[in-house]
Structure 1
Amino acid sequence: MKAMAARALWQLAKGNSPICRSITESRALLCFAVLLEKGAKEVQYNSAMALMEITAVAEMDADLRRSAFKPNSPACKAVIDQLLKIIEKADSELLIPCMKAVGNLARTFRATETRMISPLVWWLDEREAEISREACIALTKFACTENYLCLDHSNAIISAGGAKHLIQLAYFGEQIVQIPSLVLLCYIAMHVPDSEELAEAKVLTVLEWASKQPHLIQDQLVESLLQDTKGKLELYQTRGSRGFH
């Protein structure tokens, strides 16, 4: 019954703000957190999928995001704790929906709350391209310009060792992960162009290489980000900023 109920809520929540509001105004978030921790396998999966859909709606609906996912709300805290536990313990079937849910909530986290960055960065160093791709996409929601804490989050990604993983993925990753890794690398470099870690990792060289790869610059977002970021990094280099030699 629990598995069926969680599945029904998952299907009902898809793209539906009023339904998501009804779900989050009940005790459902707290229940999902408990089911993620203690439920049977099918219940856990359906709960993770339901949370992925609810957070996807909340990402687009600022009112729902503010009411349902207040950082100090016990239900929100319980959900995030469980999502992070799953990401940290590498439960393969639940991993991707939980990554997506954390990414969807990127705009709800405070600057000081960086505990979700390291587990996502860790998954950048993963042989399975789809998992690395989802980690890139989730982290991009923290580092993109639309997130008003993008500077803090970009610094947190660099501190967690994200740059070297992203460079590996940009050079050697499969195509499905190359573009998301380049997009994330561009956002980080754009927000923290004076980072010594990025200079030492030769990020500008990577971006110059990427801008000559036809299959990468077919994507308009990538092409535009590459141009903007290269310009910014070159500006800092020509100023002789410390660390850029």
Structure 2
Amino acid sequence: MADIVKQILTRPIQLAEQVSKAAEGANSFKQDCLELKSKTDKLAVLLRQAARASSYERPMRRIIEDTEQVLDKALALVIKCRANGLMKRVFTIIPAAAFRKTSLQLENSIGDVSWLLRVSASADDRDDEYLGLPPIAANEPILCLIWEQIAILHTGSLEDRSDAAVSLVSLARDNDRYGKLIIEEGGVPPLLKLAKEGKMEGQESAAKALGLLGRDPESVEHIVNAGVCSVFAKILKEGRMKVQAVVAWAVSELAAHHPKCQDHFAQNNIIRLLVSHLAFETVQEHSKYAIASKQTMSIHSVVMASNNPNPILIPTVTREMKMRSPPTSLIQLETKTRARCKMWLLTPWQ
């Protein structure tokens, strides 16, 4: 990643140095050229900082591409001001508006690169103040909002990453196009990472976002190729029950929009794990009416059984079941989502 960043930033840094040097040797419009030099030098400092930082690649490429174009125009302008000889100066026409326009573009580039550095900062270096939108966001503010949330997923703390996932859930739910942008701008890998290693709230939000992003076969294919199957399989095998419920829903959403992904789910044992959860619910329901075994009952259970005229109604609930048993409302949610999964899993697709 560091090598890619340096490679992208090499030419803009060189252009900034050339603009600064050319502005010093200007023979006409000296004051205007010195103003451009001052802003170019400030931009060069920010570009060198970006070269040393670990920047989020998608916005960096877009911002640096625009910055490079601005520096190319600035260099062409100051080179015209270096014309020697009376005849060259006479026939070199430079509109006064050209300097104002170039100066404004350099200011915008400074704002864009400054935003890039702030949004790419690590959790320890980032302050709590609102980052705002960079000048590049004038035409598409939602894109920069998505960039900011994905950048936080890359470099933020677990709490910040969880909040960023919630924001992406809101965006993906509101508009299909926003979901497409999240995928195109590289939002899937950090969401998978959060689902794999985050806290429970973060895992829930990440799984929910992934389920919402799979609105069409192309998007589902992208999510599957990014490694969602192995992440979801691990959660279904050993994750918290509440997270498993969201994952079951996400699996049903992905399969509903691209049935052929069932093969990938089967290869990663997701179908088997979902069926085992359904079986566990059935066993848990039947266990309410099982005859208690005195060998496995506690002293308190034995006393209660001896005082109970109808011992057949005493439930046999193992320690594992107690640990995994969620509240009643959550069981109902899981039953509904898993039943939906079961329907598509058992329905053949063409």
- Unmatched tracts of structure 2, length 5 or more: 1-110, 282-324
Q: 1:128 to 1:92 in 2, by over 3 A?
A: closer
Please list, as runs of the form range in 1=range in 2, the aligned pairs for 1:14-163 lying within 5 A after superposition.
34=115, 37=119, 41-44=127-130, 73-106=139-172, 107=175, 108-109=177-178, 111=180, 114=183, 115-126=186-197, 128-143=199-214, 149-163=215-229
1:167, 1:203 within 8 Å by CA — same for their partners in 2?
A: yes
Alignment coverage as a number of residue pairs: 180
Q: 1:209 to 1:73 in 2, by over 3 A?
A: farther
C-alpha separation between the residues in 2 aligned to 1:229 and 1:192? 13
1:124, 1:162 within 8 Å by CA — same for their partners in 2?
A: no
Report the TM-score, using the length of structure 2 for normalisation: 0.44
C-alpha separation between the residues in 2 aligned to 1:105 and 1:228? 25
C-alpha separation between the residues in 1 aligned to 2:192 and 2:152? 15
C-alpha separation between the residues in 2 aligned to 1:41 and 1:112? 27
The structure 1 residue matched to 2:274, chosen from 189, 207, 225, is 207
Shift of 1:225: 3.0
In the other structure, the counterpart of 1:68 is none
In the other structure, the counterpart of 1:170 is 236
- Unmatched tracts of structure 1, length 5 or more: 1-29, 52-70, 144-148
C-alpha separation between the residues in 1 aligned to 2:138 and 2:223? 23
C-alpha separation between the residues in 1 aligned to 2:234 and 2:219? 21
C-alpha separation between the residues in 2 aligned to 1:177 and 1:163? 15
C-alpha separation between the residues in 1 aligned to 2:250 and 2:219? 11
2:179, 2:213 within 8 Å by CA — same for their partners in 1?
A: no
C-alpha separation between the residues in 1 aligned to 2:260 and 2:138? 34
Q: Tell me the secondary structure at the aligned position of residue 197 of structure 2.
A: coil
Shift of 1:154: 2.6
Q: Tell me the secondary structure at the aligned position of residue 343 of structure 2.
A: helix
C-alpha separation between the residues in 2 aligned to 1:152 and 1:221? 29
Amino acid in structure 2 at the alignment position of 1:223: T
In the other structure, the counterpart of 1:225 is 337
| Structure 1 residues 164-216: Cα deviation after superposition (integer angstroms, max 9, x where no partner) | 11111112112232221222122223333322311211222122111123347
Report the TM-score, using the length of structure 1 for normalisation: 0.60
In the other structure, the counterpart of 1:5 is none
C-alpha separation between the residues in 1 aligned to 2:169 and 2:234? 22
Q: 1:186 to 1:85 in 2, by over 3 A?
A: same
Amino acid in structure 2 at the alignment position of 1:231: M
